[in-house]
Amino acid sequence: MALWACVAMMSGLAQGTPEPGSAVPATYRHNLAYRLQQPMTDGLDVSAALTDWFAAEKVTGPDAEAQKEKLYLHAMASLKALTPLPVEPWPANPTGVTLTWLEPFAVPDLSAYFGPGGKPPAGVNARIVEYEVDKLKLYGVVLWPSAPGKYPPILYLHGAAFGVPAYSLAWLAQIAKRGYTIVAPALRGEELFSAGEYLPGVKPYACQGQIENLGGEVNDALGMMDGAFKLEVVKPGKFAILGHSFGAGVGLLVAAQSPQVACVVSYDAWLVNPFRFYWDRLRDGPNNWFSWEAYTHRPAADQLAGLMKRSIVHHAENLKAPVLLFIGGAYDGSVFHQSHADLAARLKQLGRTYRYVIVPGGGHNFVLYPNDPPARTAFPIQDKWLETYFPPQTPAAAP
């Protein structure tokens, strides 16, 4: 069921009408969830109400109903005068990072599975690199044209938090062939490659640290770019960002923190407005955040501070580069769509250069299927965006 349909069903609860057959405290619980939606979406400090909410969840015993009712009513009373959550300054971006070349490898030909989108072009080099950020040893991949030269860099940030997908390397190589250096980090807590079975003979590598859900991963990406600009095959100055899902969420935060970003291409970004994802779980909605229960064990104020740190909607004023936002149309009505609509509205309000494209028929991972209609719809738009705001350096012809 679409989220807004669920909200409509709860509208009677906002007027205090009990659900048939339900206990009154359960009605108060639903009422509180409904009243929390807008202030959470807006980034207001609802820590007092959340503290009461989770206290009520733990109440047991013969007078539990009365205790829960008291907590829910106290929580609703605390929502009458709310202030915005503070925006903590980000730490300085990593500097002094060095990328160490490791083994070269051949980009796999997966055209049997993905058609032309799975066939790597000739004349592209691919190599694994090692680097360090926040005292963690990390790994990544660099792809660039074989012809000598310095090529403008594109920071590719993958989805799913499982490493650089081996099945996307041919697509990245095709972009590199036009005259770009692709800089693709694995992120803390990940293997270097997901679907590594497509890369037989390549040694396994694992990044140190643990997944932080758009926390330290931003530093990982910024650090790899700091090191990439020292490479002979990278043109100094600006870089573009190309991201999907988890990686697109990281990429938008990178763009807010780095003045060197020329433009952004984002596919179905994760946690664009994390307050919506949080609230969706709070109201027992779809499970779009698998570690939510663990996150809510922290004090409410810490939870909200973490959400604000990760919310690109509430840092949108720092997004100066042109932003192209893609999202699959097949799951319209989800918190992904609502969060993207929040960001598009904020970028419009700020007068930023952006485009928001809902791709017909696209699922969350449509970018991973280059031969299917949704990707074939998006890729020409992506290519024009890059050519407009971050043109390639055409490789020299072979002598």
Specify the DSSP element, H or E, that contains 184.
Answer: strand 181-185
Burial class, 128, CB count within 10 angstroms (exposed 0-12 / middle 13-18 / buried 19+): buried
Both structure tokens of 131: 């680097």
The DSSP call for residue 81 is: S
Predicted confidence (pLDDT) per residue in 334-386, tens digit: 999 999 999 999 999 999 999 999 999 999 999 999 999 999 999 999 999 99
Cβ atoms < 10 Å from Cβ of 209: 18
Q: Report the predicted TM-score, pTM, of the whole model to 2 decimal places.
A: 0.91
CA distance 135 to 281: 34
Look-up: residue for tokens 């057959």? 21
Phi-psi region of 364 (alpha: psi -120 to 50; beta: other; left: phi over 0): alpha
Where in the chain are the domains? Answer: 3-77, 100-273+311-389
Question: Which of 97, 92, 124, 96 lies closest to 108, judged by CA?
Answer: 124
The pLDDT value recorded for residue 89 is 86
pLDDT at 88: 83
**Which of the residues in the chain have pLDDT under 70?**
1-25, 398-399
Given CATH 3.40.50.1820, say whether it is the number of domain 100-273+311-389. Answer: yes
Could you report the per-residue pLDDT of 101-146, keeping only the tens digit for each? 999 999 999 999 888 889 999 999 999 999 999 999 999 999 999 9
**What's residue 175's pLDDT?**
97
Q: What pLDDT was estimated at residue 22?
A: 42
Residues 6+ positions from 44 with CB-CB distance below 8 Å = 82, 83, 84, 85
Between β-strands 181-185 and 136-145, what pairing exists: parallel, antiparallel or unpaired?
antiparallel
Residue 25's pLDDT is 63
Closest of 105, 217, 221, 253 to residue 169, by C-alpha: 105
Task: Give the count of alpha carbons within 13 A of 24, CB side only.
Answer: 11
**Given this model, what pLDDT does residue 120 score?**
95
pLDDT of residue 20: 37
Q: Which tokens is 43 given?
A: 């980034």
d(CA 221, CA 294) in angstroms, rounded, equals 25
pLDDT given at position 9: 24
pLDDT of residue 398: 56
Residue 27 is predicted with a pLDDT of 87
- Note the residue count of the chain: 399
Cβ atoms 233, 181 nearer than 8 A: yes
391/264 Cα distance (integer angstroms): 13
